[in-house]
A and B are shown apart, each in its own frame.
Chain A
Amino acid sequence: MAALSRKWDPLFVLVLGSLVFSCKGDVLKTSNDRTESISATKIEESSPQAADLGDLRQSDEAESNEDRKAFTPPPPNDQFQEEMVIRPLYSGDIYASFQFRTQWDTDFLHDGKKVSHYRLFPKSLGQVLSKFSVRELHISFTQGYWRTMQWGQPFIPSPPGAELWVWFHHTVTDVDGNWKELTNVLSGIFCASLNFIDSTNTVEPSASFKPLGLGNATDHRFLRYATLPREIVCTENLTPWKKLLPCGSKAGLAVLMKSEKLFHSSFHSQAVHIRPVCKDWQCTSTAWELRQTLNVVFDLYTSGQGKKEWSLFKMFSRTLTEACPLASSSKIYVDVTDNPGGELFDLSPSSPLISTAVVLGDRRTYSVYDLTKKETFGQLRSLNLLLRWKGESDDMLRPPLHAERYVSGFGLQKGEIHTCLYNSHPYRAYPVLLLDSLPWYLRLYVHTLTVTSKTRENKPSYIHYQPSKDRLRPHLLEMLVQLPPHSVTEVTVQFERALLKWTEYTPDPNHGFYIGSSVISALVPSIVAMDTNSTRDRPLFSSFFPTKEESSYFMRVYTEPLLVNLPTPDFSMPYNVICLTCTVVAVGYGSFYNLLTRTFQVDEPSAPLAKRLANIIRRLRGVPLL
């Protein structure tokens, strides 16, 4: 039995790999047939939007681009949507997630022609995409760690620090060179230390990161993945990020992004995702999608004297007055799933629009506020959402998968990394892909790798291991582990801490070295049927990871980054060490030299001084010498 299941394991890797993200036409067709019966996402909203928007856009162009009147106006081949989701968390915190989506119907990779007209799509990113032949680009900057057990799952997960992963176009010959230049350019665009990404922290994962957009590229030679766990995210990263928005921070949802409030939070994550997508559901033409997301968790419970209430003004010290004029849709969603009858909390002003969407394997209900409509803002011409709790909420549904990681052992010689994977599903077992990228100065011993679940050995069915090269390449460990239902699976591996050259340490060497998060990717069994049509009009937050099948959805979990101490030399005395060691070598050389070049001779002591003087006098006097 065991042998049989092991036989099927490689096949499973392939199936999972192809299922996760690929966007093949035939799969798409079959799923389209089914959409009628599923109707997982149901959005009750008006359709006259499009006409409205057309007017808006034209009037806006007329106003702002008077000087460009001489040119023929380009056809409006791009559109912009903005959206905010507010989810009250069970811990009392508030989770606010912004998503801005710019879709651009151009294809500068296939056409080969140069694109010089940019409208909504930021030119700085467009040029980067075409210069480096980027197929997909995902970059995130995160401050703080997402606590899955307290907060549930985020809409778009991200590890602490900076994360960058890029799929290059398959025509690129020098991928490493492009990657190097790209990281430096992005470092300039986002004012971040991405220029510290080099070969020592870049890996090519074989299975964990598949393209999220069009195309089922599987050749991981065109993929580069790097994290900087120590990167600190602050205002200087937010400002360039805001500048990429068509409205900047002048109008629309972006007015809420005041850095003094955003960074006074438990968790802050901003990201940019660029990928090619289908323009329509038949996928006849493609478009570039730029998604800018910003996730923030406010701890209003403790700072608000234990009162569970929040408002837009309390969170952002701003209220909303208008949508971004360039946006084709601008909405705020508030998660009211747990409050069907209004007994748990009051939301004011209340909204007549209710939307349900299948998000992360669960059907959720949202109150929708459409900012493009005048009546949303009411008499005061400003929208300040306010929520007051009336009762106590019950326990949160445990997320089906979460993970934690720690280093065990003492001393500075060796250690052991433990990764615990929790499958909370009561009866379904599912496989997860675990990716670990460890820097070379933790010398990993892969023969000490053990995977145990329920006190029994759980042999990974697929292991991809790339050993490190000193000062050149990190370790890459990827494996496919089957998680039994309702269990904890512990993955341990031993390592040795290297002594580095004194110039290789960080400025505060005794603080320790940050080791990036492990990445756990899984297809998790879903409670309700997932919506498999990727082109239907759904809320942005529910449609980031494409879904291939109804019964499961894709989930990515990041573990904590580790802080590992290494033995340190004494930084104050390089001169002393050089002098002392050279002295010892010289002692060796000197004594051998002495013995090699000299010979033994009988020591004929010279006469004492007095005697010699006396002899000189005696010689002068002509008497016999002494």
Chain B
Amino acid sequence: CTAIHSAFPQLLAAEEFDDAANLLAGNPDATTISIDEPSENPKNQYGLLQDSRREEDDELLGTDDSDKTELLAGQKKSAPFWTFEYYQTFFDVDTYQVLDRIKGSVFPIPGKNFVRLYIRSNPDLYGPFWICATLVFAIAISGNLSNFFIHLGKPAYRYVPEFRKVSIAATAIYAYAWLVPLALWGFLMWRNSKVMNIVSYSFLEIVCVYGYSLFIYIPTAILWIIPQKAVRWILVMVALCLSGSVLVMTFWPAVRDDNRRIALATMVTVVLLHALLAIGCLAYFFDAPDLNVLIPTAAAQNGTIVATKTQ
């Protein structure tokens, strides 16, 4: 196995998956799946079915060598989990890769799967962690600013920085970014044991998808400073459509083979939870922009009318 590990940098750089497949096929110790004829190899670890669905899956998965990438997926993390190098494998991304993944989460390409196209067996924790951190502070700061502008003219208003809300925002967003992928991964594993699915994701890939899909909420939160209810709800809808479609296109291949109703229910739950996060943040951190501007002038007019009447 050490030969393969040492050969990896060159292999990954040259993207010669054929050589990798041959190497791994030749090594009896490694986890292998046969890439020539799946029917010949009874130990089909990833459950590749030999029917016409494979071609359309390759299209949906966005790459021709999808099975070869799954081959490499099993070989990556080799250091034991108590060493620092193990965690370094989760940060093995360059700047352009992170930017590409962010771009892929904001502009969903119809028919392409985010995980296969961008993550490609290299899930990183940099994106999810720092996108969540930025989102926490974006929501807290934008909420504070929007409340300041809404209540600006009122005489009884005194500005408070509302620092408590930062910890509440952090708890909510990090819980969403880690617990929902955990639940979804557990659910998919459970369904996988009952129905042989073509596509199965690792826990880190799901965390990665969810983390990057939260990126769209950062500009949304900044634009929520605008104190117009209609504008805010339009922003929510747009953000939900973009990142929700990325999530749906990612997870639909994983539940498609299942019972129709369960597949639909899973997709609806994923989108619903995503929407709930957005709407919850909007409701809690951003005060409603009410029509306070009109009320003082109306009260002043009533006051003058009453005063003239009593005179």
Report if A and B associate in a common complex.
no
Binding site for B on A (CB under 8 A): none
Q: Which residues of B contact A (CB under 8 A)?
A: none
